[in-house]
Amino acid sequence: MIDTLATHKNYFRKIINMWSKIKKAIKEPRKVFPCVCPVIKDRLLDLRRSQVKRTELDGKVFYKYKGVLYPEFLNKGNAIAFVLEKAKQYCKGRGIDIGASQWPFPDAISIHNEGHQNAYKLDAFPNSSLDYVFSSHCLEHLEKWRDALRLWINKIKTGGILFLYLPHKSMKLWRPGEPWVGYEHKWAPTYKIINRFLADNRMSIIEFNSGKDDFYCFHIIAKKI
């Protein structure tokens, strides 16, 4: 009887251990399967892309994905157009646009992903020298986003502005590993995570929207204290 009980305990212990490994593989496949992970990721991405269906409704083009219709303009770029007027109210003086594309913030110095200057490297700008830092759809591309934000904050003067414009988590096509962004997006920012970080790093939150705007994005405006 004792041997049987011990056998059952050992059996269930093995099941629990196996289930733990399965959960780890699902959560962190790169660590568990370092060789096959890229292949699996690519196949999953191909499968997800095949699930995006273009459709027309009342003369307008939409893309349907996982039961949700997303307007075509979300795949055209120029996200800044949806927040530009508000950003102009706060971003004044000398500032930079980090992650600027073909739609840069007016009068800002554009920062692209280059060897000498990028989101992690801003040597051309002394600490506490900028009136503002503007960034649209950049932070989600950065694995070390905390390091980047600390650097950006260091470059802002006391009383200066940090203006962030980011994809809202409700936009499924922009989530990491999803059809429109693949693995270019490293994480999915939320206002709670970022606001908490900013409050711990000498920034006072002036304004933010917890929901999504017409471009399925949200903004955060903070002042350096």
Domains of the chain and any CATH numbers: 2-72 (no CATH), 76-224 (3.40.50.150)
Cβ atoms of residues 171 and 101 within 8 Å: no
Percent of the chain with pLDDT over 70: 87
Q: Is the pLDDT of residue 212 over 60?
A: yes
**pLDDT-based confidence at residue 119 (cuts at 50, 70, 90):** very high
pLDDT at res. 185: 97
Query: What confidence score (pLDDT) does residue 140 get?
Result: 98
Which amino acid belongs to residue 57?
Answer: L
Q: Is residue 174 over pLDDT 70?
A: yes
In the DSSP assignment, the letter for residue 87 is: H
Show Cβ contacts of residue 206 under 8 Å, excluding neighbours closer than 6 positions. Answer: 90, 161, 221, 222, 223
Helix/strand/coil for 206 = strand
Q: What is the pLDDT of residues 11-56, one digit of tens each?
A: 677 777 777 766 665 556 555 555 556 778 889 999 999 999 999 9
The closest of 39, 217, 200 to 208, measured between CA atoms, is: 217
Strands across the sheet with 217-224, in order?
Answer: 109-111, 95-98, 130-136, 156-167, 217-224, 203-208
